[in-house]
Structure 1
Amino acid sequence: MCPAPVPAERDVDPAESPASWPGTTGRSSLYSRRSAILTTGAAALGLLTALVVVLVSSGSGGSHRLHRESAAPLPWPSEGQTSVLVEGLGDRGDLGTKGTQTPVPIASVTKVMTAYVILRDHPLHRSEPGPDITVDRTAANEPVAGAESTVPVREGQRLSERRLLELMLIPSGNNIARLLARWDAGSQEAFVTKMNRAADRLGMDRTTYTEPSGVAPTTVSTSGDQLKLARHAMRDEAFRHIVALTSTTVPGVSGRIPNTNTLLGTSGVIGVKTGSSTPAGGALMWGAVMPDGQGHEHLVLGVVLHQRADSSPQEGLQAALETSGSLVKGVRKWLSGQVPSADGPGAPDQRAVTRP
């Protein structure tokens, strides 16, 4: 069953899409005309060389790894790009990537990196509120713009680090993301430098962050890069707990604010973050806990990007939720036939999953 329509995050709808990222291609071939034997030999050598290139590219070198587009019989989306991984199954857990890994706008999925940097600089235990942060005039005035997803806060209001992380990740408050960035680094520009340094450390070499909320289409990434971030972010207990919440509250505002991720609580889904804008289309980084054929639970992570790009943010987000919901069910079916195996040397054992 498809999830009910949900409100989009209302990221800014720029008039222009980000610049394309053209690749470079080119080949040169030398053909001998001396004999048919030499011609055949050259062709064979060319095939052997191509095979070597593929094997080298598929090594553990990171972004140039050969992605298996049909490693598992999953209902992959027909558009955009998607990556899926099951922790605790070693190489079998890499279920592959669908779609060309060309950097595309990721909208509010950007906030996962914002939260990752904040929690690295200011760690929280599962239930710890953390320090109080004063809402500045900029954050208080931004909701009146109405052109993007924001959360109503008052100048001088003091909210805990945890509450602000909730307001950033659950209703996807862009003004809260920028407030946290200024609090952490002194300026949004300095914080963006931290974001890109963190991406470099994680091997996200096809990712560029230009601001902390995801509102700018110049923040681009790939599903494979965002999957690397998902693995690290979900190791943080406070982050896991926050992204699993179905709603939160704003002091001084009546009622509860729902999470934009309507897959929460279905098929074991425990997070993570939605994103939507016209250039980005719909995007979703998702996490779920699923059993294998022996009853061992595994953390499964997936990233779906660029669904219905250049349509309305609402249509894009709905598409991302629908395709991700189908993927989650497909992975559950695939995993039910698998038996556990240890990850490689030095890799964390994720079979004993800690639930939020």
Structure 2
Amino acid sequence: MSHQIAPAPTAAGPDSSGSAHRGSGADAERRRMYRRRRLVVFGALALVLALLIGGVTYVSNALGTPVPAVAAATTVPAPVAQPPQPLALPGFGEYAVGAVGFDGVLAASEAQAPMPIASIAKVVTALVVLGAHPVAAGEGGPAIAYTDADVDIYWDMVAQNGSVAPVAAGTSLSLTQSLEAMLLPSGNNYAISIANWAFGSEGAYVEAANAWLAEHGFTETTIADASGLSLANVATPGDLVRLGQLALTEPALAGIVAQQAVDLPGVGRVENSNKLLGSHGVDGIKTGTTDDAANLLFSADYAVGDSTVTVVGVMLGADTHAQLREAIAALLDSVAPGFHEVTALEAGVDLARYSTAWGDVASARTADGASVVVWSDTPVEVSVEAEPVTTADAGAQVGVATVRAGAQTIEVPLELDAPIDDPGAWWRLTNPGALAATQPAG
């Protein structure tokens, strides 16, 4: 008989399979819950970290970004102009009148054709000779020995009815004294003698003189001799005004033409042929007389405020010297009141204002005053330029006010009356939009 052995039951019993399934499901749920918690925690930590990093970056950028530049609101003074000055103009010949430091001429005749200038040509002689043989102010310069040849020149000029000054063979005069003998009594003989001494001959002088005229831009002036005796010595009034202004810059020449008379050794006393000298402000320059006309290249000084204005003019073609003097006196008396000293700016005037987004306020003020001397109705205008500012100390120059009147220009610095400071950390942190405006695009 065979025996069968039954399998032993498991320890779990008949229901162990169901219990196992329930246990595995609970563990999985717990694991999912832990994962969710970890995601929440790490997400929160990541968010906090991101916020911290972003905050640090924002703070760093806010504190390190330059503050925006502040543009100024400017105030421009209105132009100032006087009424036009009426002038007493001559009813004859040609004329022009200007002033040193003023562009062009103040008044001129409609006609401006070259006319004979007679002994005004001696001004060219003096300038050209002094250019070749300079003489310092107050000095006599080189000596010139006069001989029988110079005496012959004297008598030749007398024969031609030219103006002369005495000369004696064997005498010696300095160049300055020789120029005095030429310019004051308008000695034709001394003009020729000086030209011969300086250039070897009058012809060589004429060549040098016309080259000098071209070099200095006197395109409407022609020199034919040293004395002015020839009617071929011609110039326009405009050229002669410029010539007179140039003559006054030569100290030796300016000193000579302002003298009423001088005593010269071997010559005697010579007097200035300019009879207007010392009246109506006149202090120069040179007469010129032809058989048909009286001419005068003149200068006059006038005090205007704290300045002195030098007027230079010329009249050509008067019938007589009496008519010429009367016309020039009337013209000068009408010209002088036409100069005005205008205070264009006072010191300490606010011309620009800065207002920052963080509350700082400062004005840009003129550091100095500015005055100009103007002629007639010349307008005085002021322009204002003020630079944008980020931060600046009180007293810093932030711009310039420019005064313009004709050819004159004066620049006056503009300085801050108060500081413009950095706005500080709090304003930077709380005004991101204002700071963003200062950042480059891209």
TM-score, normalised by the number of residues in structure 2: 0.57
What corresponds to 2:261 in structure 1? 247
Kindly provide the CA deviation profile for residues 117-161 of structure 1, in whole angstroms up to 9, marking residues without a partner as x.
011111111110011101132321233353211111112311110
Specify which of 224, 247, 272 is matched with residue 259 of structure 1.
272
What 5-or-longer segments of structure 2 have no aligned partner?
Answer: 1-83, 343-371, 375-404, 410-442
When Rg is computed on C-alpha atoms for both structures, the one with the higher figure is 2
CA shift for structure 1 position 205: 1.3
Query: 2:124 corresponds to which residue?
Result: 113
- 8 Å Cα contact 1:142-1:150 kept in structure 2: no
SS of structure 2 residue aligned to 1:288: strand
Larger RCO (alpha carbons 8 Å, 6+ apart): 1
Within-5 A mapping of 1:1-356: 72-88=85-101, 90-91=102-103, 94-145=105-156, 146=158, 147-254=161-268, 256-279=269-292, 281-292=293-304, 294-308=305-319, 315=320, 317-335=321-339, 339-340=372-373, 344=407
Q: Distance in 1 between matches of 2:142 and 2:300?
A: 30
2: CA distance, partners of 1:319 / 1:337: 33
Instruction: Give, as a single letter, the amino acid of the residue that structure 1 aligns with 2:317.
Output: H
For 1:290, the aligned partner's letter is Y
Gap runs ≥5 in structure 1: 1-70, 309-314, 347-356
Whether the 8 Å CA contact 1:140–1:153 is kept in 2: the answer is yes
Query: In structure 2, what is the Cα distance between the partners aligned to 1:181 and 1:94?
Result: 32
Asked whether the equivalents of residues 129 and 162 of structure 1 are also in contact (C-alpha less than 8 Å), the reply is yes
8 A contact 1:202–1:229 mirrored in 2: no
Asked whether the equivalents of residues 108 and 273 of structure 1 are also in contact (C-alpha less than 8 Å), the reply is yes
Distance 1:100 1:140, change over 3 A: same
Residues 79 and 99 of structure 1 are in contact (CA less than 8 Å); yes or no, is this contact kept in structure 2?
no
Shift of 1:213: 0.5
Q: For 1:112, what is the secondary structure of its paired residue? A: helix
Code of the aligned partner of 1:318: A
Residue 33 of structure 1 corresponds to which residue in structure 2?
none
Q: Distance in 2 between matches of 1:113 and 1:167?
A: 15
Number of positions where the alignment pairs a residue of Structure 1 with one of Structure 2: 264
1:116 is displaced (CA, Å) by 0.6
- SS class of match (1:340): strand
Is the 8 Å Cα contact of residues 205 and 226 (structure 2) preserved in structure 1? yes
Residue 197 of structure 2 aligns with an amino acid whose one-letter code is W
Whether the 8 Å CA contact 1:136–1:179 is kept in 2: the answer is: no
Distance 2:133 2:144 in 1: 12
Tell me, yes or no, if the aligned pair for 1:291 and 1:335 is still in contact at 8 Å. no
Name 1:25's counterpart in structure 2: none
Q: What letter matches 1:197 in structure 2?
A: A
* Letter matched to residue 300 of structure 2: A
The one-letter amino acid of 2:332's match is V
Aligned twin of 2:48: none
The runs of 4+ residues in structure 1 deviating greater than 3 Å are 142-145, 336-339, 341-346
Determine the structure 2 residue equivalent to 1:22: none
Cα offsets for 1:70-113 (capped at 9, x unmatched): x852211111111111223x44x730211411111111000000
Cα pair 1:139 1:175 within 8 Å, conserved: yes
SS of alignment partner, residue 138 of structure 1: helix
Q: 1:129 to 1:78 in 2, by over 3 A?
A: same
CA distance in 2, matches of 1:133, 1:252: 13
Q: How far apart are the structure 1 equivalents of 2:143 and 2:297?
A: 28
Output the CA distance in 2 between the equivalents of 1:159 and 1:343.
Answer: 45
- Aligned residues of 2:105 and 2:238 also touching (Cα < 8 A): no
TM-score by length of 1: 0.70
CA contact under 8 A between 1:72 and 1:96: conserved in structure 2? Answer: no
**Structure in which a larger fraction of residues adopt strand:** 2
Q: State, as a whole percentage, how many aligned pairs show the same letter.
A: 34
Structure 2: distance between partners of 1:243 and 1:144: 25
